[in-house]
Amino acid sequence: MSLIKEFAVEPRVMATWTHFNSLWEDFGVGKGRLISKFPVLWINKVDELARLHSKPVQASAISSKLRRDTHKFIVKSRNYSGTMDWLSNARAQMNADPFHAIIATENPNAAEPVLIAGEFAKDEPPFQVLSQASVPRQAADLARCASLLLRHSEEIRLIDPYFDPSVARFRNSFRAFLQMRNASSPRLRVLEIHRKRDAGFSFEDLAQHYSRLAQSIPAGVMLKVYFWQQREDGPDLHPRFLLTDVGGMNFENGLDEGEPGTVTLVTLLEHTVWQKCVRDYCRGSTTFAITPDCILEIAGRR
């Protein structure tokens, strides 16, 4: 099950300054909660209601944060009927593709799992969620705990200093991560692996090893593999991450499978930590060193 949960929040809730102030900082990948843009023009509806029911300075602050903090949202293809109210629409989703919880201004039928804004305990489920968990170190479980990120991202970066495609346990996880995507996933614009450059670096051998991943990569997608070096007096390449354009996760023991029965600690990255990790593993990184001849490209063939 995904560590990150999707919440439906009634626009009227976030258009109310008291509720907005109370809830806004509780969302984001690092918090384990994302707000569903339900309906698709959810932000516009919050804006409209805030201008009607909040003071101008409050409405302005709400509008600014809605557009600045895009990392707090998830967009899914969901049906929305204009003939039903928002809560009825949200409850109609609970059979096919359920939200983790619904936050509304009222719950006249005492339906589960609907939370009334301002009347629920944040330290109790379903609002309380985990930002860290021990996950079985098997490919399907590793992918499943990151499923929401993998399915709804346009960029996927796998960081593991010892990633080795000649070993089945790495190939299995790589395949499972990409298989988690489905027909409704956005186009994958960026797919990268970042690892440590070994002594005795042979580009020809590495190209042969990494070509084993081609059958797991969708056609039309180019995998780029970066081989980094530690800078003098700089940090070692040790942590293992899944980084996407939505957010990131740290896999303590690696992105590869382990022996049956083993687990790895998975931790959701707070937004500022995720931002730093993205900077660390970009071409212009000042944290680690790389040269142009240490970037390998593999075309997808799936």
Q: Where do you find CATH 3.40.50 in the chain? A: 5-116
Q: Measured between alpha carbons, how far is 36 from 6 in angstroms, rounded to an integer?
A: 6
Specify the amino acid at residue 292: P
Can you name the residues that pair with 242 across neighbouring β-strands?
158, 249
| Residue ranges for the chain with pLDDT beneath 50 | none
Q: What is the pLDDT of residue 112?
A: 85
Can you give the pTM of this predicted structure? 0.93
Q: Where do you find CATH 3.30.870.30 in the chain? A: 132-299
Q: What is the torsion angle, in degrees rounded to the nearest 10, for the CA atoms of residue 59, residue 65, residue 71 and residue 73? A: 0
CB atoms under 10 Å from CB of 80, counted, come to: 15
Return the structure tokens found at 243: 């980084």
Helix (H) or strand (E) holding 263: strand 263-268
DSSP code, position 250: E
Q: Is the N-terminal amide bond of 235 cis, ω within 30° of 0?
A: no
* Topology of domain 132-299, CATH: Endonuclease; Chain A (3.30.870)
Of the candidates 9, 18, 213, the residue with the CA atom closest to the CA atom of residue 118: 18
Kindly tell me the burial class for residue 122, based on how many C-beta atoms sit within 10 Å of its own C-beta (0-12, 13-18, 19 or more). exposed
Q: Measured between alpha carbons, how far is 26 from 44 in angstroms, rounded to an integer?
A: 21
Q: What is the pLDDT of residue 201?
A: 66
CB atoms under 10 Å from CB of 108, counted, come to: 8
Q: Measured between alpha carbons, how far is 214 from 302 in angstroms, rounded to an integer?
A: 7
Q: Measured between alpha carbons, how far is 100 from 5 in angstroms, rounded to an integer?
A: 6
Q: Measured between alpha carbons, how far is 150 from 20 in angstroms, rounded to an integer?
A: 28
* Topology of domain 5-116, CATH: Rossmann fold (3.40.50)
CA distances from 64 to 18, 40, 49, 70, 117 (A): 16, 18, 14, 11, 22
Of the candidates 52, 237, 76, 242, the residue with the CA atom closest to the CA atom of residue 162: 237
For residue range 78-105, list pLDDT tens digits in order: 999 999 999 999 999 999 899 999 999 9
For residue range 252-275, list pLDDT tens digits in order: 999 999 999 999 999 999 999 999
CB 27 within 8 A of CB 246: no
Q: Measured between alpha carbons, how far is 216 from 300 in angstroms, rounded to an integer?
A: 7
**Strand 263-268 relative to strand 248-251, pairing:** antiparallel
Exposure on the CB side of residue 25, measured as CA atoms within 13 A: 3
